[in-house]
Structure 1
Amino acid sequence: MEFAGRDWQLQIENLKDEVRALKESVITKGFLSEDFFLSYLHRIRFQRVCQQHPWKHCPDEKEVGLWSVLQAGLSKAVLGFAGVAAVGALCRASRELGAEASKAKKAVDCLAAGGRGQVFICGGYDGSRLLSEVHRFDPKANSWGSVPALPVPREASVAAVLGGQIVVCGGFDGQRQLDQAVRFDPMAGTWQELPPMHCRRSGATAAVVQGHGLVVCGGFDGEEYLSSVERLTDHWEMLPSMTFSREGASCAELWGKVYVCGGNDGANTLKEVERFNFEVGQWEALPPMLVRRDGPAAAALSGRIWVCGGFDGQQSLSLSSIECFDPHRGFWRKLRSMLSRRAGAACAVVSGQLYICGGYDGAQNLQECERLDPAQGMWELLPSMPRRCGYCAGASS
């Protein structure tokens, strides 16, 4: 037995030498490249492993390949740990993997940005079609990136960042108003369904209130202009209705109270303002705005409510004017106008500065974005969005 073992070992060593000589001769003579040789060798070994360890998909017993595994989300997990630099190598490894890796890269980009201090612009209308794209502006880099697209193109939806995830609710998909709510989880890199709202809503308005979740107000359900209000915590719950039915209003949260401004009731452009107080569970009337505004943008900034742009129901062009409400003094005052006329623009606040993106100026949808530093009182033009975008939804982290 010992002699037979030495004989087998000698034969193995001889075979190794012959294979090495064969490999080096064909590569040296230029018949094959070393990369081609190694890739072909890998293919043979991989086929042998697949034969030894077949993997069947239980429901229909069809074979499942590497591509199916990657579609299940493995590529996103790998990229999340390997980093953005690995994307190029993964794309070059296979044409089939390229598309999936490119989608995953958008999620990794979002992770790389840390998800904080970002402006997100969701959906909208570019003048010819509804959009599913989600654009991301990084103020530190002063540049635009992207997030994987929404499951359904839509305009006139609402968006917010809730629990570190982007939440988008309602809107119009070109055929009907939506009750759908979805969220983007940057760790998973995918959009996930949430329970639907109680009402279909396009042109609604929303704000996140600490301890009270996402509050969605008004809108149009395809038949009626709504005064109803609901909020999302771990489920949807109806709240007391507003005094006015409103579509195209704007909303902001300040000191735990929700302010709803302007909009239209189907017949009139509104300047009425009301505020929901969670402590008493009621809406209360506030002094009206100086100007009627449909489709304005609103935000809480420096202890005041700022309302920007919109339509006044009389001029064909959108407004560039701004007014702000001081809750302590109880009155509105006019401020320096924006650089552009805008209605249906997206609005967000990051690090105490106000961002206004896109919108419709009365003639076309806009790519331009601008930022206000309230301490300076000056508007600053920012890099344009990748696409014209009106009636989009804005959120910030």
Structure 2
Amino acid sequence: GATPAGAALSVVERFDPAAHAWQEVEPMRSPRYLAVAGELRGRLYVVGGHSTSRPHLGGSRRLVASPAWHDTGLPMLNSVEAFKACSNCWCHVQPMQHDRVLACAVVVGARLYVLGGLSRAFGVLQSAECLDVDSGQWQMLPPMVHKRCAAVAAASPDGRVYICGGNGSARYTGECRAVERFDPGASAWESLRPCCILRNFASAAVAGGHLYVWGGKRGSEPLQHVERLDLEEGCWEVLPPMRCARNGSCGIALSG
């Protein structure tokens, strides 16, 4: 994350549900914000993001869409770190092939999928790649149907990956309702029925045969809206709104 002044943080905290308490653990080696993360085989992987470790906090942070892409001076990272809880330490692993900010991350089996985002060289990305933890190597996937950043993604129990909403413009003026599904067995993307609500910076989780999507924002307006996709029927249903509007939140499905 980042401080209110915009400085990237390396601080990491862990929550123990049994003790209902937070604990600070070893900080990351590289401060970063707008990164993505996923847990694989007892390790927490943190991928990409912005770093303000070199001084450029006085400049503009506005991200401008490609092809009129302007270098803000803020480093965009392709680096990856992994945290071992048993030893309370971080280590660097193989970097991604592209630097990415505002991407999505999903874990399926022994693979960490990283989808879309923003790149200094290419602007809003249509590309996706995955890390195979057995080989330690990144592999490029077929490009998505739509380029997007600030989208949301989740994986179903059968291993398919869903990505929803987001923005096709680095100016954050191109919110979309497009939904896609990646089948690792076929190594192919397919378009699904669009979601009901335009949004980016939302949250998502899969539970009970449904993909739930909530919050986010449209323009500058944070949203209370909640909807879910029936993974078998392929149709969307709007649910009662949350009590509080929120964007950029985190969500996870817990059994029980």
Note whether the superposition's TM-score is higher than 0.5: yes
Q: What is the match of residue 201 of structure 2?
A: 344
Match runs of 1:183-332 below 5 Å: 183-209=14-40, 211-222=41-52, 223-234=74-85, 235-266=89-120, 268-301=123-156, 302-313=158-169, 316-332=173-189
Match runs of 1:51-90 below 5 Å: none
Contact 1:318 1:360 survives alignment (8 Å): no
Quick one: distance in 2 between partners of 1:352 and 1:244? Answer: 33
Number of aligned residue pairs: 226
Is structure 2 residue 223 aligned with structure 1 residue 366? Answer: yes
Deviation at 1:341, TM superposition (A): 1.1
Deviation at 1:391, TM superposition (A): 1.6
Quick one: distance in 1 between partners of 2:210 and 2:249? Answer: 19
Task: Give the counterpart of 1:382 among 233, 239, 243.
Answer: 239
Contact 2:216 2:247 survives alignment (8 Å): yes
Which one-letter code corresponds to 1:189 in the other structure?
H
Contact 1:345 1:358 survives alignment (8 Å): yes
Contact 1:341 1:361 survives alignment (8 Å): yes
Q: Which moved more, 1:375-384 or 1:233-242?
A: 375-384
- Higher helix proportion (structure 1 or 2): 1
Contact 1:180 1:197 survives alignment (8 Å): yes
Deviation at 1:285, TM superposition (A): 0.9
Quick one: distance in 1 between partners of 2:3 and 2:226? Answer: 25
Deviation at 1:352, TM superposition (A): 3.6
Q: SS of the counterpart of 1:191?
A: strand
Q: What is the match of residue 68 of structure 2?
A: none
Contact 1:317 1:361 survives alignment (8 Å): no
Quick one: distance in 2 between partners of 1:286 and 1:313? Answer: 22
Quick one: distance in 1 between partners of 2:155 and 2:203? Answer: 14
Which one-letter code corresponds to 2:76 in the other structure?
Y
Per-residue displacement from partner, 1:54-88 (whole Å, max 9, x unpaired)? Answer: xxxxxxxxxxxxxxxxxxxxxxxxxxxxxxxxxxx
Q: What is the match of residue 211 of structure 2?
A: 354
Deviation at 1:358, TM superposition (A): 0.7
Quick one: distance in 2 between partners of 1:357 and 1:238? Answer: 33
Per-residue displacement from partner, 1:84-143 (whole Å, max 9, x unpaired)? Answer: xxxxxxxxxxxxxxxxxxxxxxxxxxxxxxxxxxxxxxxxxxxxxxxxxxxxxxxxxxxx
Contact 2:131 2:137 survives alignment (8 Å): yes
The share of aligned pairs that are identical, in percent, is 35
Contact 1:317 1:341 survives alignment (8 Å): no
Deviation at 1:340, TM superposition (A): 0.7
Return the index of the structure with the highest Cα Rg: 1
Which one-letter code corresponds to 2:110 in the other structure?
G
Quick one: distance in 1 between partners of 2:131 and 2:151? Answer: 19
Deviation at 1:212, TM superposition (A): 4.1
Quick one: distance in 2 between partners of 1:351 and 1:231? Answer: 30
Q: SS of the counterpart of 2:107?
A: strand
Give the TM-score normalised by the residue count of structure 2: 0.83
Contact 1:269 1:292 survives alignment (8 Å): yes
Quick one: distance in 2 between partners of 1:197 and 1:173? Answer: 16
Quick one: distance in 1 between partners of 2:215 and 2:165? Answer: 12
Gaps of 5+ in 2: 53-73
Match runs of 1:92-171 below 5 Å: 171=1
Quick one: distance in 1 between partners of 2:81 and 2:250? Answer: 18
Gaps of 5+ in 1: 1-170
Q: What is the match of residue 61 of structure 2?
A: none
